[in-house]
Amino acid sequence: MTPDPARERSLGGLYGVSAYLLWGLLPLYFLLLVPTGPFELVAWRVALSLAFCALLIAVTRRWSMLWAIMRQPRLMALTALAGVLIFVNWQVFIIGALTNHVIETSLGYFINPIFTVLLGVLVLHEKLRITQWIAIGIVALAVVVIVVGYGTVPWIALLLTVSFGCYGFVKKKIGPSVDAVSGLTLETMWLMPVAIVMLAVVAATGGWTMGQYGWEHAALLSLAGVVTAVPLLLFASATRRVPLSVIGLLQFITPIMQFLTGWLLLGEPMPLERWIGFGLVWLALTLLTIDSFAAGQRSRRRPAAAPVGEVI
């Protein structure tokens, strides 16, 4: 049966909103896992995500789909690349959340839509409209303001922007050829050797925190796989059903939640230069959003307004 396109788009939007809402809550979840360090936590995320995905595949009996993907070198290479990118994203994000840089993590995801546009130029050789170039310039100015005024490069924000922007691009390239569960299974499978080494180093240097701080802490840490996998599966399902432009608009949910968490709940500082930098980013996003809507309206009107006999 051929899927209904309208229903698929609606489902994709729902999956995307759910994924970004869950990601917006992640800083609070990670703070509940203290004193687990960022390297041990990422290793558990990889191992437990792989276990959770393997369970899903066993329950849904999708082993044949997984083997079919594994026989295709191109798809395996893309899942490996996606695994590396999401590993970098996880590691940097957790370091930010556990070192009182939640506001900076939000900056990374605020910049991400602009980076996605820039990625289209650098990789796909797309031509940008003047408003899009202005938005990119404003974001570049915002980073300069933060660096000069705050006295440090927002490397957490920049790494999050690049890693997740490229991850979304790779997932879009994979497209419907790899279902969400199989994709995340392969991504975490590629990362499993790295996770094993990280857990071995943690065990040799300071010892695991798993099981050392009561059953409540152990239970929360054991959920790292589910907490990691569910939003990623929702995100992968969304990218297969809706355009990247829609994903770009929905992803504002996560940085808004993270910004409010860092500022209002965790009391992270927001000096004047940070407000100016964030204000410039928000201005760029506003311009980009208005431009996207205007371009969409023009593309929808153009065929109807074309004279009879004109080749569209």
| pLDDT the model gives residue 130 | 87
Output the pLDDT for position 306. 39
Closest CA to 241 of 299, 175, 177, 182: 175
Question: Rounded to the nearest 10 degrees, how much is the dihedral formed by the CA atoms of 166, 169, 174, 178?
Answer: 80
pLDDT for position 128: 77
pLDDT of residue 2: 62
- Residue 309 has what pLDDT? 35
Per-residue pLDDT, 1? 56
d(CA 251, CA 37) in angstroms, rounded, equals 27
Unique residue bearing structure tokens 């705050």: 150
What pLDDT shows up at residue 248?
Answer: 66
Chain centroid to CA 2: how far?
30
Ranges under pLDDT 70 in the chain: 1-3, 244-245, 248, 295-312
Note the pLDDT of residue 296: 65
Q: What residue has token string 């929360």?
A: 220
Rounded distance, CA 21 to CA 1, Å?
32
What local confidence, expressed as pLDDT, does residue 244 receive? 65
Q: Which of 44, 80, 50, 77 is nearest to 196 (CA)?
A: 44
